[in-house]
Amino acid sequence: MHTHFTLLPDEVEITAIRAQGAGGQNVNKVSNAVHLRFDIAASSLPEAIRERLLALGDQRISKDGVVVIKAQAFRSLEKNRAEALRRLHDLIASVAVLPKKRRPTQPTRSSVKKRLEGKTRRATVKAGRGKIVE
């Protein structure tokens, strides 16, 4: 089951900021990095996706349920904006698909037997390592 979702442009707040790190004079005068903020609670995402997003222990999600993504890999503002939106989309897509329910199974008789034989073999090897008592 794949849940489709759409992000409305007015729900995503994108701010241009100055990038950190190397880049010479360019890094000091051009605001090419992007700071993306997305309020999960106020979004139009389906309720189930919103709950799973808020329950996610991701460091990009603040305590008040706001996703904060900083993109500064590229020198172009447009590329950084696209990268930030892609990362937000990937984050939401990761919780959009419901994980399969685990069906508990019993180990096969042969696998139990094999495991116990291995334990017995290991025990005899270890028992043989003790000090020799005369």
Position 58 in a domain? yes
Judged against a pLDDT cut of 90, whether residue 111 lies above it is answered with yes
Q: What is the percentage of the chain residues whose pLDDT exceeds 90?
A: 24
Q: Measure the CA angle with vertex 52, ends 46 and 56; round to 5°.
A: 145
pTM of the model: 0.65
Do 33 and 19 touch, CB atoms closer than 8 A?
A: yes
CA distances, 60 to each of 33, 39, 56 (Å): 16, 12, 10
The pLDDT confidence band at residue 1, using thresholds 50, 70 and 90, is very low
What whole-number distance in Å separates Cα of residue 21 and Cα of residue 74? 12
12 forms beta bridges with 38
Range of the domain at 20: 9-96
Position 132 in a domain? no
Q: Total structural domains in the chain?
A: 1
pLDDT in tens, 52-107: 888 887 888 888 888 888 988 888 889 999 999 999 888 888 888 877 889 999 99
Position 90 in a domain? yes
